[in-house]
Every structure is written in C-alpha cells, then in structure tokens.
Amino acid sequence: MRRPSVRRMTALVAAGLLLPALAACGSDDKDGGDDGSGSSLVIYSGRNEKLVKPLLDKLEKAVGTEVEVRYGDSAELAAQILEEGARTKAGLFFSQDAGALGALSKEGMLRKLPAATLDQVDEVYRGSDGDWVGLSGRVRVIAYNPDEVTEGEVPDSVFDVVKPEWKGKVGFAPTNASFQAFVTGMRVLKGDDTTRQWLEDLKANGSKTYAHNLATLDAVEAGEVSLGLVNHYYWYERVAEKGEDKVNSKLHFLPGKDPGALINVAGAGILKDGGQSETAQKAVDYLLSKDAQTYFADTTKEYPLAAGVTSTVEGLPPFESLQSPDIDLGRLESLQETLAMLQDAGLV
C-alpha cells in the first residue's frame, strides 16, 4: 500500500526533527542566563581555537574568573563587534591580525591601554592610538625545495622571484591575509606603481596560486614549485607534526629589510563598552606574561613580542636577527586598495 508508508515516512521525519530539537532547547536552558555583569570575561577570538584554546584555558585560571571564548574569523568578528556597538558582549578582542584591531580602533571602540602594558611591546607592534597591543609575530619567508634549488640560489628579495629563471616555479596564496598584508607592506615601502608591476610580473611569470599557505607548502614539498611565499610557522608546525627528516622543504629568511620579510602580528584590544575592562586588562597582562609568550614561542611557533621570551624552537632564527622592513602596521588597513590591485592583476 502506498499511503501508510508515506505516513510512516512523514512521522519518521517529524520525530527525527523533534527529538534533537527538543534536546537543543533543553540544553539551551542549561547554559542560558548569560549575565553580562562583568563577573566573567567574554573573548572574541579571531585566532583559531586549535591554536589558542590551551592558552586561553590557562588564561582563565590566571585571571580567576570564568572566561567564555567566541571563535570566529577576525574580520567577521570585527564586523560583528561593530554591529553590536555599545551593547557588545565582548570584553576582549583577540585578533589574528592588526587590520581588524585597527578597524575597531578607528571607530573608537577600543579602550586605551595603560603605558605599562604598551611599553612591554616594541612600538612598531602596537596600535598608534595605544588601544591595542601585538602579542605574537609571524614572518614572511620563502620556502624552497632543496631537490630543485640550493640554498644559495634562493633569492634574497621577493623582487627576484619574478625573474625569468623562476618562471613557473613560484607558488603563493593570493587570498591569504598574510600575503595581502605583505603586498600592502610593499606598497607602503616601494609605492603602488612598483607593487603593481611586481604583481603583474608575478602573474606573467607563470607563478602558481594556491588556496592557502599550507597548500603552497605542500606544493614546495612535492616539487610542484621550487619556491613558496609563506609564513614561517607553517613549516615549523609541519616539522613538529611529521618530524624534520620527513619534511623535505627548507625555509629562507630574507635579509636587507626586504618587503618579503614582513612581520605580521596577532594582538588584542579591550572593548570600551564590554563592561569587563578590569578582567580584560588582566587577560591582556596575562597574554603579555612570560607564560603566554612562551606558549606562542613553543606551541604556535610564532615570535613572542614581550616579556623577553625568546623562541626555543629548533632552527628558528632569533627575532632580533630578522631583517624585517620598518612599517607602521596601522597603515596596513589600506587593504582595500591592495585587493583592488590584486584583482586588477587577475590574481584573486
């Protein structure tokens, strides 16, 4: 018979929908009742949960109050905070990059940090209005495949990767935020015309584009390309995951303040209207503490920016040895034009 089975099917679907839905509503009651009174701290984290959850767990202990973390994309969280305005639930914004913090700063949503906090970090790596502070840094490098090129052959400047001998041998991830920050840095350092030319040359040289840094690194590993423009920590994570002997590629740190050696930072800012500034301040202090800075060094393989912590990761050049260009990171928010340029060059 035809109809009863239809009825059964409908009932099945209805039951299937109802049960978990009820469960969901039930669990909602359980953890409802967010008081927002400031006794707990809400962190909007643009940094990936996998990377920073252990750190934030420790932070919870350190500040002594309950900490709730909302993970998301830095830019989207910034948009969310802007939309929330004065009624934001966030006490602290922990951003993957300086741009998102700069956007909140521009709208006057961040609270000025005390000098004692700011002074722990080099002036280059904090907001020009003193309302956010960098916590960890990552440097742009060139990964290379030693089967294809020797260390000596790897260019010392990104301007060299567009030379004919690297035709079709360079990989990069044009949609990656760090790459775009680097292009913005190049614009600040060398001007728009030079940058535009470089992008066009990069494309004309048959350089290969990948979805993200890891895919770029994979391509270098596989010899699909000889050089890859990536962030340093991907390689160190890969080494930590697979063991150094199983990782084929090597890294080249660019000398001479080349734009290709730009340092991007992750940072944090306190929301004026979050009503949690006291605990948020404690959290920032913790993130600048030796404990947290060591975590950045050891676990995320980044460069710690404060507390005199130096990375103990094997093979990682000391922070002081990096010859990065001097750029006001606040100016990196002119990303819009960078994207227009990438689009014009047909790269994104």
Establish if 222 lies at the interface with other proteins (CB under 8 A).
Answer: no
d(CA 104, CA 74): 11
Question: Which candidate, 71, 41, 87, places its Cα nearest to that of 284?
Answer: 41
Establish if 69 lies at the interface with other proteins (CB under 8 A).
Answer: yes
* β-pairing verdict for 132-144 and 250-252: antiparallel
Q: How far is the CB of 156 from other proteins (least distance, A)?
A: 27
d(CA 288, CA 294): 10
Establish if 219 lies at the interface with other proteins (CB under 8 A).
Answer: yes
Choices 80-88, 259-267, 275-283, 318-326; region in contact with other proteins by CB under 8 A: 80-88
Establish if 223 lies at the interface with other proteins (CB under 8 A).
Answer: no
Question: Roughly what angle, to the nearest 10 degrees, separates helices 277-287 and 49-63?
Answer: 120
Choices 23-31, 158-166, 261-269, 274-282; region in contact with other proteins by CB under 8 A: 23-31
Q: Binding other proteins by CB under 8 A: which of 9, 39, 128, 163?
A: 9
The reply, when asked if residue 234 is annotated as ligand binding, is yes
Question: Which candidate, 186, 288, 173, places its Cα nearest to that of 231?
Answer: 173
Binding mask 103-142 for other proteins (x = CB under 8 A): x--x------------------------------------
The reply, when asked if residue 233 is annotated as ligand binding, is yes
The amino acid sitting at 219 is A
- Residue list 25-54, contact with other proteins (CB under 8 A): 25, 27-28, 31-32, 34, 42, 48-51
Q: Which two tokens stand for residue 270?
A: 């306190």
- Residue list 170-199, contact with other proteins (CB under 8 A): 174-175, 177, 180
Q: Binding other proteins by CB under 8 A: which of 54, 87, 167, 256?
A: 87
- Residue list 259-298, contact with other proteins (CB under 8 A): none
Establish if 299 lies at the interface with other proteins (CB under 8 A).
Answer: no
Q: How far is the CB of 255 from other proteins (least distance, A)?
A: 28
Binding mask 225-264 for other proteins (x = CB under 8 A): ---------x--x---xx----------------------
Task: Using CB atoms within 10 Å of the CB of residue 34, give its burial: 0 to 12 exposed, 13 to 18 middle, 19+ buried.
Answer: exposed
* Strand spans (E) along the chain: 41-45, 67-71, 92-95, 132-144, 170-172, 208-209, 227-231, 250-252, 263-270, 303-304
Q: How many CB atoms lie within 10 A of CB 237?
A: 17
Tell me the binding residues for Fe cation.
Answer: 233-234
